[in-house]
Amino acid sequence: MKYATGIETKKRIVDAAFKLMAHRGFDALSIDDIMKSIGRTKGSFYVHFNSKEELLYEIMETRLDRGYNQLADEILEELSREPCQVRPLLEKITKEVYSSLGENRLTWTSAFYHLLIHSRKNEVVQTWLKSNAEQWSSLLNHVVEKGQETGQIRTDVDAQVITNMMMGIVMGYDILYMIDRPVNDEEVNLIHDWMFV
């Protein structure tokens, strides 16, 4: 029972810190505020984390990751099948990326952009963000290249340029969502129309 309580406390710390980070940013986040919000003492924080930075890394891995690992193997396997239709794969990626944000997309988006700001002073965060972006870029690039090879996606634009534009669309919609514009996954899929033959 004690072990289950410890796991639950750690989860509550991560959840509370994630929400507070979305509202205040990482630098303004205090361990006292996190622990007060869940009705625990500051001492119980240190049972689970050695520092606020360690908590941030846990948030990055458990709450801010867009679900790449779960999706990449499946998409790459589907790319190897013949015939391969890339449009449904891009739609699936779009749907999975947005559904991975959780129930409160605004909280996720705000926390992620606070993380981007914090990355200017934290090399671990910079490395994680870069690795994350490179993974998604590589996956999307494989899909685009397969689409170009099979005549489904236009070839007059370089595959990496199309990939960068697609990633920019996702990040752009995140920003639009933060300024109170609802995002419709179907709208994002329609934007992809320009690249298909």
Collapsed DSSP state (helix, strand, coil) of residue 196: strand
- Three-point CA angle 129, 71, 159, nearest 5°: 70
Q: In terms of domains, do 133 and 185 share one?
A: yes
Q: In terms of domains, do 8 and 92 share one?
A: no
| Mean pLDDT confidence for 77-99 | 87
CA distances in angstroms from 174 to 113, 114, 177, 184, 195, listed in the order given: 9, 13, 5, 11, 21
Q: In terms of domains, do 85 and 172 share one?
A: yes
Q: In terms of domains, do 87 and 183 share one?
A: yes
Q: In terms of domains, do 74 and 43 share one?
A: no
- Distance between first and last Cα of the chain: 59
Residue 9 lies in a domain: yes
By the 8 A CB rule, do 74 and 65 touch?
no
The CATH number given to whatever domain includes residue 35 is: 1.10.10.60
Residue 59 lies in a domain: no
The CATH number given to whatever domain includes residue 179 is: 1.10.357.10
| Mean pLDDT confidence for 58-87 | 86
Q: In terms of domains, do 7 and 81 share one?
A: no
Residue 18 lies in a domain: yes
Look up the domain containing 78 and give its range: 64-195
| Token reading at 17 | 């810190």
Q: Which residue has the higher pLDDT, 49 or 5?
A: 49
| Mean pLDDT confidence for 14-22 | 94
> What's the whole-model pTM score?
0.83
Q: Is the pLDDT of residue 3 over 80?
A: no
pLDDT tens-digit readout, 21-36: 999 999 999 999 999 9
Q: In terms of domains, do 119 and 179 share one?
A: yes
